[in-house]
Amino acid sequence: MKFRQKHEDFIVNEILDYELNDNGNYSLYTLQKNGIENLKAISYLSKNFEVPTKEIGYCGLKDRHAITTQYISIPEEYGKLSLDEDNLKLEYIGNIKKPLKIGKLYGNRFEIIARAINKNEFLKIADNMRALSFGAPNYYDDQRFGSVFNGKFIAKEILKGNYEEVVKILLTSYTKSEKKQLKDLKRFIAKNWGNWDECLEYIDKKQIRSKMFRNMVKSLTYENDFKKAFKYVDNRLKELFISAYQSYLWNECLKEFLKEVIPKENRIYVDYSCGTFLFYENIEEELFCKLKEMDFPTIVSDVEYTDSEKRIIKAILKKERIKISDFEKLDFGKLKYTKRPIISIPEDVNTGTFKSDELNSKKYKIALEFSLKKGSYATIILKRVFNIL
């Protein structure tokens, strides 16, 4: 099974409930991106139209490896803007009263093509598509865990006081998509770990512009204090570290809950970057009706949970070898309390037919369209359908 072989294979359209107002102080636009990272596109608009990035409102981050259409707001004082480039288009819609903010959307509409399908998979995929009316567990998926390397969560390492490990992850771990200059730097630091003078000299020689890397290495050069060096990490990154670990704990809590209600014969496990997901192959109508009305809270240190929630949270924290009170040790960022639906149910599902795949010899492709409410991951639905559960 293959996804995203072309950007056109993954199309995302944001669903926003808005009301135009001729007297509104903010202009509403659609922004279409093709293969461009969200914040990079916002930065480009900022420079191109001389609008401060903080003045550009948006509801959510969209996938880079896709064609995406989302809404943004810009104060009316900057005029009616327009852009029509190969991979970036901006179109004015009208005026609204308030700027857009993160999370203030209804959901997203997805148009996805799955490729490299074998003929012997047709029946199972078709069955799984029909079963989408029963939804799927509402896990956070891999996109949430970009800061996790080799299964190590930076926030967890901080809770354990392992600041050297934290700094080592930040200064030496990299992904395939990172720029060559940064990957080369991280390889050099890994090879010369502890020789901070040499690392700082390398940064200056290669004219690497990252303030974070330079300041961290400079701090280590003069004080060799990993906790102090961590203070130079951007606060937005620190928030991501907390969010990643909190999301992982929520996934584990959901899996633990599902073990209590899903019979063993109906459990299916699917791997992801931080462990395994538990899906249900079949589910009784009565249980489904119960689950679709339920949610589970994120773990924070200052909330009183129900007895059943406490039992599950305690079991997961025991596996992690941490206590809920440990989160009070974090001297940066903040754990966010929210109640997340237990299952995600696609709406307005449309399925195509199996067709010959022009990109993969002797294989087939199929199109799938559906809408999801905000916060749910299309890739979880794809795992439900195409991992042949």
pLDDT tens figures, 157-209: 999 999 999 999 999 999 888 889 999 999 999 999 999 999 999 999 999 98
356 pLDDT tier (thresholds 50, 70, 90): very high
CA angle 383, 377, 178 (to 5 degrees): 90
Encoded tokens for 269: 């496990």
Encoded tokens for 348: 């307005």
Whole-Å CA distances, 61 to 58, 125, 338: 8, 29, 19
Encoded tokens for 88: 């970036």
The C-alpha atoms of residue 290 and residue 91 are separated, in whole angstroms, by: 43
The C-alpha atoms of residue 249 and residue 244 are separated, in whole angstroms, by: 9
274, with CB counted inside 10 A (0-12, 13-18, 19+), is: buried
| AA identity, residue 146 | G
Asked if 301 and 328 touch (Cβ cutoff 8 Å), the reply is yes
Q: What is the pTM of this model?
A: 0.90
Number of neighbours of residue 182 by Cβ within 10 angstroms:
14
The C-alpha atoms of residue 26 and residue 174 are separated, in whole angstroms, by: 39
Residue among 9, 63, 141, 357 flagged as catalytic = 63
CA angle 194, 200, 204 (to 5 degrees): 160
Residue 63 annotated among the catalytic residues of the structure = yes
Asked if 72 and 57 touch (Cβ cutoff 8 Å), the reply is yes
Encoded tokens for 67: 């064609």
pLDDT digits (tens, 9 = 90+) for 48-92: 999 999 999 999 888 888 999 999 999 999 999 999 999 999 999
Running DSSP on this structure, what letter comes out for residue 274?
T
Is 238 strand, coil or helix?
helix
Range in 56-70, 287-301, 358-372 the model is least confident about = 56-70
